[in-house]
Homo-oligomer: A and B are copies of this chain.
Amino acid sequence: MPLFDKPLPELHEYRPERSEPADFDLFWRDTLAKAETDPLEPAFVRYDAGLSTVEVWDVRFTGFGGHRIAGWFLAPREVAGPLPTVVQYLGYQGGRNWPIDWLVYPAAGYAVLVMDTRGQGTDTADPDPGANPQVPGFLTRGLVDRDSYYYRRVFTDAVRAVDAARTHPIADPARIVVAGGSQGGGIAQAVAGLRTDVAAALIDVPFLTHFRRAAEMVDKTGYGEIADYLARRRVPPEDVFGVLDYFDGVNLAARATAPARYSVALMDAVCPPSTVFAAYNHYRGPAEIDVWPYNGHEGGAQVQRMRQLRWLGETL
């Protein structure tokens, strides 16, 4: 993909007006309050992954609607806590996979809780997705009102994953980091916007951000599902975008106060750079951004990972 979005200097200034419902905060306060009425019941069961220097637990906790959410918890073995702990959210259509996929943070001296994404994940169902016929994928699941929308459930799970991480004895509750790339970046950004007690946020090439613009720019899996849904069902676009506004990363970033490290790739046709900058430029707390000028959606990959480790060392 060649360069296709705004030039970098314009991106740095791109701070579009937010399309934010009046009762945005109320909606989320109610949603999270209701979720808290279900007991969290975190369960950490030791799991033999054949690893000698890392300890692994299979995790379950209660997310949205009383549904049980799966995850992994890994920590360096024989290290006395409390440890700073990363809550890791996942890319689109991915799942928690296997413990050996999540060794970077333990190797660097952190604990990590990896949250499976309901429906798309490895071991976590999405028990109530039936509100509407939808385009394949998850972006239009339940997209008939804000209450039934899929990401209401996911973001709530994600908020509670932080609570779950905190209950582990090795985790330092004052040093919880949220992290992820693509969909995972969008979720981390949402959690940073929905709670005030995370210590840092690592947000790479975030998805679920600036939906109105993204739906006009992307025609592939991901944002393209929105246009596909509108093309097929021919409902008034505002019926759709009016719901998405409650979940838009731009609005969530505008509420986030934790120090954040973003990354963006200028040739990213999946999460176009202007959508990322729209949120970054609205981010309320202190934030930095790494720009990858010739990369696509892979973004900074492992090099970004190394920068994040250094930055976390300085920030926490």
A residues in contact (CB < 8 Å) with B: 1-3, 49-54, 76-77, 79, 93, 95, 97-98, 100-101, 103-104, 106-109, 118-134, 136-137, 215-219, 226-227, 230-231, 233-234, 237, 267, 292-296, 298, 300, 302-303, 305-306, 309-310, 313
Contacts and interface: CB of A to CB of B under 8 A. Distances in A.
Judged by DSSP, the binding face of A is loop
A136 B133 contact: no
A133 B127 contact: no
Contacts of A97: 302
A306 B49 contact: yes
A50 B309 contact: yes
Contacts of A125: 130-133
Contacts of A2: 216-219, 227
B237 A293 contact: yes
Given A132-B125, A313-B50, A227 B305 contact: no
Contact of A119 (B98, B133, B296, B313): B133
Q: Which of A53, A101, A296 has the most CB of B within 10 A?
A: A53
B101 A103 contact: no
Nearest to A227: B294
Given A1-B219, A125-B132, A128-B130, 8 more contacts: A50-B306, A97-B302, A101-B302, A120-B133, A125-B131, A127-B130, A215-B294, A230-B294
A217 B3 contact: yes
B107 A104 contact: no
Contacts of A267: 219, 227, 231
Contact of A107 (B53, B298, B300, B313): B53
A107 B234 CA distance: 24
A215 B66 CA distance: 36
Contacts of A76: 52-53
Contacts of A98: 302-303, 306
A181 B132 CA distance: 24
Given A122-B133, A130-B128, A231-B295, A52 B100 contact: no
A147 to B, nearest CB: 14
Given A106-B107, A237-B294, A305 B52 contact: no
A81 B273 CA distance: 48
A152 to B, nearest CB: 15
A305 B133 contact: no
A19 to B, nearest CB: 16
30 contacts: A2-B216, A2-B217, A49-B306, A50-B108, A50-B310, A51-B108, A51-B109, A52-B76, A52-B79, A52-B109, A53-B53, A53-B77, A53-B106, A53-B107, A93-B136, A103-B103, A106-B107, A119-B130, A119-B133, A120-B133, A122-B133, A122-B233, A125-B132, A126-B133, A129-B129, A130-B130, A136-B136, A234-B295, A234-B300, A234-B303
